Structure 1
């Protein structure tokens, strides 16, 4: 009796992705791995960087800024109409996190609009509904075109990028190792 090879080819792999903003227990739910920001990783997991560091930036349309003024300090946002982000994991509103000269500051903002999706927040900001706090990389085309202006840029801290994480106590299947190698940020 010959043994069959237990190697996997990339063309043999089927990937199922579940995209949401909640924190799942990948072990209890039977997932091979998950993706989280570096600051949210659990200590007993193996983490492989799959993306660069990134930043959140506050943006508003030029028309909104002309009508309401430009904030000079994160606390100024309390007097502005801000577009909030609802956190699916806690159900609460995201407190905007700023940092300058090593000093961190969280600001709870108020406004008429709340979303659970940054793309909807960007659309609302482009339409002049207020200031949004969104990932810089997904708003760059709007800032480059002039549809949005970045405010408080020197207060926008960097965050550890995305990591693929998986349990350290489990032997990975060859197919999952191919996925890890393919996603590894070089």
Structure 2
């Protein structure tokens, strides 16, 4: 038996509801004769009469009614699902999942989304802190936020922040117990506060630059975190040296709670970008989120 076409079932349903080929044809935007041929073709595929026709009326046969009782709720569910998907393009509804480091989330993402959330009450944001450089497509994120040189080349990326300078800081309490390093290689002799990178199951390398010279130092110490703010807190309490975004530590340095270490070796990295997979698949909600992050 040939498989009925979904459009044929929709046509049958409309004729049965209207009890008229004329009214149903007008709603579908087809001729009455064309609609009649569609229903006749469906009956031939199923091998049974579905509609009883007279010159004055149309009604379902027992087989036709049983088919509609089964199919109609499913068609209505499909219609509702398609409408819900269409609304994603027409108004910002649903959940936008964002992957970002804790620092980027606090500094560049969350502050810029608050007005958007107040404006669009049906919009939902899921903001996940992640140092793992996750594949946002595989992990079903809509938007990722990373430093510019960490964004995959096949993604659409827009800058949302200026270039980022990384810094090494320590509390006066810590530096009072031992001399501050004057060369990056001396960092290996210090108690350094580390950051765990989940995807590589390793610790973050401290990248340093001075003019054209570059060094990558693997450090060790008593503490390992996966959160920049805990690293900052540990540094403030004198537990060791921390490698952090300079902007995160500046206020503590100005207040005298922390001091810069190896300041002439601080590297400047390409600023944070928001990125996503493709323009053609992005919903209105995603586009509004990206626009807000850009500051538009």
Pair 1:111 & 2:221 matched: yes
Q: Which protein is richer in helix relative to its size?
A: 2
* Cα distance between partner residues in 1 of 2:150 and 2:175: 34
Alpha-carbon spacing, 1:67–1:152, altered in 2? closer, same or farther (3 Å): same
Q: Is the 8 A contact 2:159 2:271 kept in 1?
A: yes
Match of 1:76 among 169, 175, 186: 186
Q: How many residues align?
A: 184
* Cα distance between partner residues in 2 of 1:7 and 1:75: 57
TM-score between the two structures when normalised by the length of structure 1: 0.89
Counterpart in the other structure of 2:288: 178
* Cα distance between partner residues in 1 of 2:139 and 2:184: 39
Gaps of 5+ in 2: 1-26, 28-85, 93-118
Match of 1:7 among 90, 95, 98: 90
Pair 1:163 & 2:273 matched: yes
* Cα distance between partner residues in 2 of 1:45 and 1:149: 38
Q: Is the 8 A contact 1:52 1:185 kept in 2?
A: no
Q: CA deviation at 1:33?
A: 1.8
* Cα distance between partner residues in 2 of 1:28 and 1:64: 43
Counterpart in the other structure of 1:130: 240
Q: CA deviation at 1:169?
A: 6.5
Q: CA deviation at 1:14?
A: 2.1
Q: CA deviation at 1:56?
A: 1.4
Give the structure, 1 or 2, with the largest relative contact order (CA under 8 Å, sep 6 or more): 1
Counterpart in the other structure of 2:252: 142
Q: Could you report, residue by residue, the CA deviation over 1:37-58 in whole angstroms, capped at 9, with x for unpaired residues?
A: 1111111000011122111111
Gaps of 5+ in 1: none
Q: Moved runs in structure 1, 4+ residues, more than 4 A?
A: none
Q: CA deviation at 1:96?
A: 0.7
Secondary structure, in 3 states, of the residue corresponding to 1:124?
helix
Pair 1:43 & 2:153 matched: yes
Q: Is the 8 A contact 2:142 2:286 kept in 1?
A: yes
Counterpart in the other structure of 1:153: 263
Q: Is the 8 A contact 2:134 2:199 kept in 1?
A: no
Q: Is the 8 A contact 1:46 1:167 kept in 2?
A: yes
* Cα distance between partner residues in 1 of 2:140 and 2:241: 39
Q: Name the larger-Rg structure.
A: 2
Q: CA deviation at 1:185?
A: 4.7
Tell me which moved more, 115-124 or 21-30.
21-30
Match of 1:30 among 108, 126, 140: 140
Q: Is the 8 A contact 2:160 2:295 kept in 1?
A: yes
Tell me how large the CA RMSD over aligned residues is: 2.0
